[in-house]
């Protein structure tokens, strides 16, 4: 959940910023297939191989962010956001937020 508060809980400690980042590219075969699909019209112009790559990158970035938060002793992350960049077929995704300890109200 990307929120600054968690209903029913209060933040008792802030552990600082946490992040998870990943940079990956499609394999040569998948990249060529994606280009061919896009040129041929594909699925309404969507390049599904790149969409899948970005989805997988986001999932991995979240896992890495959570690992960073847990390592700091947090049990929640608030204010979580994504940032992403694409450089000639190389996809970078960063998930970041503030690691906190919360307890029920």
For the segment 92-100, the average pLDDT, to the nearest whole number, is 95
**Residue 69 within any structural domain of the chain:** yes
**Residue 74 within any structural domain of the chain:** yes
Number of domains in the chain: 1
Who's near 30: CB < 8 A, 6+ residues apart?
Answer: 49
**Residue 40 within any structural domain of the chain:** no
Domain limits for position 63: 9-25+53-104
Could you tell me the pTM of the whole model? Answer: 0.78
**Residue 77 within any structural domain of the chain:** yes
d(CA 104, CA 56): 32
Q: Give the model confidence (pLDDT) of 27-80 as tens digits.
A: 544 444 555 555 555 556 777 888 888 899 999 999 999 999 999 999 999 999
Angle between helices 48-71 and 28-39 (to 10 degrees): 130
Who's near 4: CB < 8 A, 6+ residues apart?
Answer: 78, 79
| DSSP state letters, 63-96 | HHHHHHHHHTT-SEEEEEEEEEEEETTEEEEEEE
Q: What is the pLDDT of residue 2?
A: 72
**Residue 45 within any structural domain of the chain:** no
**Residue 58 within any structural domain of the chain:** yes
CATH number for the domain that contains residue 95: 3.30.110.70
For the segment 82-104, the average pLDDT, to the nearest whole number, is 90
**Residue 31 within any structural domain of the chain:** no
Q: Higher confidence at residue 26 or residue 51?
A: 51
For the segment 86-99, the average pLDDT, to the nearest whole number, is 88
């Amino acid at each position: 959940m990307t929120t600054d508060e968690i209903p029913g809980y209060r933040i008792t400690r802030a552990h600082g910023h946490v992040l998870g980042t990943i940079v990956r590219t499609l394999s040569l075969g998948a990249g060529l297939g994606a280009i061919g699909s896009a040129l041929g019209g594909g699925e309404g112009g969507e390049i599904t191989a790149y969409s899948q790559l970005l989805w997988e990158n986001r999932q991995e970035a979240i896992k890495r962010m959570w690992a960073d938060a847990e390592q700091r002793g947090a049990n929640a992350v608030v204010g979580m956001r994504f940032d992403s960049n694409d450089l000639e077929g190389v996809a970078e995704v960063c998930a970041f937020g503030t690691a906190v300890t919360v307890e029920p109200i």
